[in-house]
């Protein structure tokens, strides 16, 4: 289900060449700004510093001239800019290090900026897929895997479904035109599952004969 990807990639986003018969249907990466907003709570951080700065200004304006109060509030605003810049930098790096791949047999997720890991999730191990659509058609596709398939929350972050801690769900985060991507995924998964089920049914008589 996973692969530590230290070697050069023969295909962008995949640690090795796809086996015969496997076709790449779609590849993409998160929208870095939406990833920053959703996974790093950018607007909450901005709101926190805004409230802090306003509170600082109000408490000073009664004891010092307005110009002096504004100058004494500037360090809070500078700190806010630095924090926001760092969060956006982290989001940008995370997005650039990520490649999501949908093939006719699996979903592959190359994730991790410092330690790169590639998760391979066959459609036969996916119980359900949930799609959430946000602003401008950007959204997430969360994969609910079967019970015997488990992932590490820390390894997956931020490519996980929010508030799913006990059983983390690998998630294609902040995907542009997510509905179109979800349709590609749904069609591929359905075709693959039908293919596997037909193969199993065709083998059943042979196994019965051996018994």
Contact indicator for 173, 39 with CB cutoff of 8 Å? yes
Residue 208: pLDDT over 60: no
Predicted TM-score (pTM) of the model is 0.84
pLDDT level of residue 153 (50, 70, 90 thresholds): confident
pLDDT level of residue 2 (50, 70, 90 thresholds): very low
pLDDT per position as a tens digit, 59-82: 888 888 888 889 999 999 999 999
Question: Angle of helix 42-61 relative to helix 32-39, nearest 10 degrees?
Answer: 60
* Domains located in the chain, CATH noted: 2-6+104-206 (2.30.29), 35-94 (no CATH)
Distance (Å, whole) CA 70 – CA 116: 45
Q: Which residue has the higher pLDDT, 173 or 63?
A: 173
pLDDT level of residue 42 (50, 70, 90 thresholds): very high
Residue 3: pLDDT over 70: no
The long-range contacts involving 12-17, CB below 8 angstroms and separated by at least 24 positions, are 12/99, 13/99, 13/100, 13/101, 13/108, 13/110, 13/118, 14/101, 14/108, 14/110, 14/118, 15/110, 15/118
pLDDT at 8: 62
């Amino acid at each position: 289900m996973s692969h530590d990807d230290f070697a050069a990639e023969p295909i962008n986003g995949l640690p090795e060449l796809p086996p015969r018969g496997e076709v790449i249907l779609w590849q993409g990466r998160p929208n870095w700004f939406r990833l920053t907003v959703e996974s790093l709570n950018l607007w909450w951080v901005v709101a926190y510093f805004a409230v802090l700065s306003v509170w600082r200004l109000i408490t000073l304006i009664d004891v010092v001239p307005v110009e002096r109060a504004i100058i004494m509030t500037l360090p809070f605003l500078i700190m806010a800019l630095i924090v926001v810049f760092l969060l956006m930098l982290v989001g940008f790096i995370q997005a650039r290090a990520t490649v999501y791949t949908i093939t006719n047999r699996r979903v592959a997720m190359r994730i991790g900026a410092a330690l790169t890991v590639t998760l391979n999730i066959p459609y036969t191990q996916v119980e359900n897929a949930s799609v959430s659509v946000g602003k401008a058609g950007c959204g997430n596709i969360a994969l609910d895997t079967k019970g015997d398939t488990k992932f590490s929350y820390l390894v997956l972050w931020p490519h996980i479904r929010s508030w799913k801690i006990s059983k983390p769900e690998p998630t294609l985060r902040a995907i542009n035109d997510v509905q179109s991507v979800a349709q590609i995924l749904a069609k591929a998964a359905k075709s693959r599952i039908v293919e596997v089920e037909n193969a199993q049914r065709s083998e059943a008589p042979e196994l019965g004969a051996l018994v």
